Amino acid sequence: MSYPAPPQADGMVGRILKNMGLLFGGKTSAVLIGLAVLAIAARALTIEELGILLLLYAFIALMTGIATFKSWQALIQFGAQPVETGDLPRFHRLLRFLIGLDIAAALFAALLSVTVFLVIRAHLGLPDEIFWIVIAYCLLSATNLRSSPLGVLRLYDRFDLISLHDQAVPIVRLTGASLGLMFGGGLTWFILVWMAAALATNLLMPALAIRELARRGALNGLFSRRLTLKAPEAGIWRYVWMSNIDATINLVDKQMPTLLAGALLGPAFAAMFKIARDISDVLGKGARLLNQVLYPELVRLMIAGSAARAVRVIIHTSAYLLGAGIVLAALINLFGPPLFAIALTDAYEGVAPIAMMLVIAAALLGATIPIYSGLYALGSPGQAALSRAISVALTLILFVTLSHATGQSGPGWAMVIGAGAGLVLASTIALLRAQGVRDASGQADFSDLVNDATSSPSADPTAKSG
């Protein structure tokens, strides 16, 4: 079987930047609409009610994320070569397995959400009148079948459709929140709006993937055999478990701080913390979507045996995101306080300093994401998960400790220190991993890869090849 030719560095970097532009545009608009939704909700609800809504969302997202396998990563890792070589039967076997995995995980997510909610219900302080709607929200996790379809769109470079999909949640929430503000909708109404947004995104992604498979002639025969949980490739179960652990760690890092903020400092602070987190997510989402764009390209480079090019791409994309974080932090520092005063009520005056710290933390995370992608492309999801787990554990420990010691300034410092430690740790692990495969790369030492990546004339993504 012949392997695809190594991607040209300048063409590949250009494709990464193009796809990043598509996704970042969609994510940025989604974040901005999301902030508008929170501003509307802040006027329709009390700060305590908004805190309850955001805590409930964080709980559902965490439970769903724990149960869900990131099958899109496995689809790219094991499906890139069949797609490149046109091996449709092998691609179908893989896709049937991953769809079956998505369905099983979604059902388990619904069961887990309901069970955990019933156990911790007394500690959440939720009003009795929303009990059954919370149960329905938990059961909605059974419709979360987005991961494999997302992998299909990424494999086929349909980042424009992914960007379109990213607008579903904010648009539904914006429409529902606006109606709630106009007609006096309370907490129950806003929970229903959040549920409608979740259902919309869960249904839209599979529809887009089916449409793309049909357009490329890859849908015929896909469901000619039953879905299965029997592994179609050697090592795939280990891979999906490792990627699930890493994804769960990522979800804990994303959602647990909001839950801790509410538990330690009250629902009102949880509302301010979540708004600040969403502001920092302008960069944070950019860092996470980089993994979506960068990972398929790194896999192609590893298949082609181009380790030096992979290092070059990692170095440049990491630097781009770190630079973007510095710029965004400066903008928040200059213009954040007056903007927050205009957009939100006086009850949210504490958002600005929290947002500043979380943007710095997001910048450090942005510099780390390409390193995680590199570890995945090297077939080492366990090492990426280990690095992420240590960083998140440190962040959560500091979150609790500093919140008790310094009050509302503690969570921000915890996020910054944890993200910085994660960058150092991931870099160290990646260095050791790369040195372990230096013979296979054809280089004398990993330092040669770095020197080649940073000093080669083609290292500049704007340079022309040839």
Q: Which of 288, 32, 15, 321 is nearest to 158 (CA)?
A: 15
Report yes or no on 463 lying in a domain.
no
pLDDT of residue 452: 43
pLDDT of residue 462: 29
pLDDT of residue 188: 93
pLDDT of residue 159: 77
Report yes or no on 462 lying in a domain.
no
Cα separation, 309 vs 181, in Å, equals 52
Cα separation, 464 vs 181, in Å, equals 54
Cα separation, 360 vs 101, in Å, equals 37
Report the Cα–Cα distance between both ends of the chain, in Å, rounded. Answer: 28
Report yes or no on 351 lying in a domain.
yes
Handedness of CA 446, 451, 454, 459 (dihedral sign): negative
10 Å CB burial of residue 29 (0-12, 13-18, 19+) is middle
- Structure tokens belonging to residue 199: 């259902």
pTM of the model: 0.72
The low-confidence residues of the chain, meaning pLDDT below 50, are: 1-10, 441, 443-466
Report yes or no on 210 lying in a domain.
yes
pLDDT of residue 447: 43
Report yes or no on 464 lying in a domain.
no
Contact 341, 333 (CB under 8 A): no
pLDDT of residue 70: 80
Report yes or no on 465 lying in a domain.
no
Question: DSSP letter string over 146-166?
Answer: -HHHHHHHHHTT-HHHHHHHT
Report yes or no on 361 lying in a domain.
yes
AA identity, residue 212 = E
pLDDT of residue 445: 43
Report yes or no on 352 lying in a domain.
yes
pLDDT of residue 458: 35
- Structure tokens belonging to residue 249: 């760690």
Domain region containing 55: 9-454
Contact 150, 72 (CB under 8 A): yes
pLDDT of residue 277: 87
- Specify the number of domains making up the chain: 1
Cα separation, 207 vs 316, in Å, equals 35
- Structure tokens belonging to residue 280: 């920092």
10 Å CB burial of residue 247 (0-12, 13-18, 19+) is buried
Contact 313, 11 (CB under 8 A): no
Cα separation, 146 vs 388, in Å, equals 23
Q: Which of 321, 375, 437 is nearest to 73 (CA)?
A: 375
